[in-house]
Amino acid sequence: MMSDKAPIISIITPTYNRADELKHLYRSIRQQSIDLEKLEFIISDDGSTDSTKSMVDKWVEMSEISIKFITQKNQGPGAARNHGMMVAEGDLFLFIDSDCEAHPDWINIIYEEYQQNKFDAFGGPDGAKDDFSVLQKSIDFAMTSFFTTGGMRGHSEDMLAKFFPRTHNMGIKRSIYDQIGGFGGLRHGQDIEFSNRIRKSGARIKFLINAIVYHRRRTSLKQFFKQVFNWGVARVNLGKIDKEMLEVVHFIPSIATITAFLSFGLCIVLKFSLYKYLLGAIIPLVILSLYGSITKKDIRVFPYLIIVIPAQIIGYGVGFFQAYVRRFLFNQEELVGFKKNYYK
């Protein structure tokens, strides 16, 4: 049953052929501790060919939440979010991706801050639930730890870079949308470019540490490698738009990757001890992987991290390096990395 009251909060989720994952998100929205009459849930479908539409149609008929299902030809998540904002009725827009689930207090925590006028835009953390796969937990550690590229994501004084809210857990007041418009046309990195315009507008951006979502990350190492490669490419594209979005810390994965391969090559050419080289590389990796398994309270994560962490750093580093050379040294146009659809 839908309320006749106008919603205060519009939850906007782009999706493409993610019916199975969208079910988990919908369940978590229904379980929010806030009064559900304050919400509308906008599912902006980007041309799905699976069972998404028929599934959502059933929800619309029986749900206690106001649901809007809108469709478009496949254009990517940025365009889908823009479509969602165009039809939104709320004064506060919340973005959460279709491969995420929200903590039961997610919206309530945000709404309390909103009522006290403590932000114009916000971002929050993402993590992994206990029932996620071992690979997903491993990827989550690699993506969020200070000791990997998580340190580049920013949000507090212990991070290495400026904080840019990401659309897996982000929100803005309608007034910000009215001021700066929607997401741009980048294939990857639209959320960072959007957040940069929010920063430039003078808006107050806050990191809400307790507003947690759980992110069902890539389910194969191949998908994960392609994703981080694309993010390396995206960071260079962002730097071409505005140099403030490209910081010294973003060069670290490329420097680490190049140093590792050059050192390995020199060991072979100069007949240095490969044993010592490998020992020097593996020991820190083993320590970090052990730390990750303790953090995740799951010893099964340990062997996965031995592979996931290097894949993350090398993937991002190679994507960044080749994009930087082509865009800054040879002044080529925007690069797109792996070209398969946005959601893979």
What predicted TM-score, i.e. pTM, was given to this entire model? 0.91
Distances (CA, A) of 131 to 100, 293, 298: 13, 15, 11
Nearest to 167 by CA among 249, 76, 228: 76
CA 222 and chain centroid, separation = 18
Helix (H) or strand (E) holding 275: helix 274-295
List the alpha helices (DSSP H) in 43-201.
52-62, 77-87, 106-115, 134-144, 174-180, 190-200
Rounded to an integer, what distance in angstroms lies between the CA atom of residue 129 and that of residue 100?
Answer: 10
Helix (H) or strand (E) holding 282: helix 274-295
Rounded to an integer, what distance in angstroms lies between the CA atom of residue 76 and that of residue 343?
Answer: 8
Phi, psi of 310 (to 5 degrees): -60, -40
Bridge partners, residue 71, by sequence: 45
Rounded to an integer, what distance in angstroms lies between the CA atom of residue 167 and that of residue 176?
Answer: 15
Q: What is the pLDDT of residue 255?
A: 96
Name the maximum alpha-carbon separation found in the chain. 77
Residues whose CB falls within 8 Å of the CB of residue 300, separated by 6 or more in sequence, listed in order: 134, 293
Strands (DSSP E) along the chain, which ranges? 9-15, 39-45, 66-71, 92-95, 100-102, 121-123, 126-127, 170-173, 205-207, 213-215
One pLDDT digit (tens) per residue for the chain, 344 residues: 445 677 899 999 999 999 999 999 999 999 999 999 999 999 999 999 999 999 999 999 998 999 999 999 999 999 999 999 999 999 999 999 999 999 999 999 999 999 999 999 999 999 999 999 999 999 999 998 888 876 556 555 445 568 899 999 999 999 999 999 999 988 889 999 999 999 999 999 999 999 999 999 888 999 999 999 999 999 999 999 999 999 999 999 999 999 999 988 888 887 777 777 788 889 999 999 999 999 999 999 999 999 999 999 999 999 999 999 999 999 998 877 776 555 55
Q: What is the dihedral of CA 323, 328, 330, 336, to 10 degrees?
A: 30
31 C-beta neighbours (distance < 10 Å), count: 13
Q: What is the pLDDT of residue 157?
A: 44
* Domains defined for the chain, CATH in brackets: 9-217 (3.90.550.10), 229-329 (no CATH)
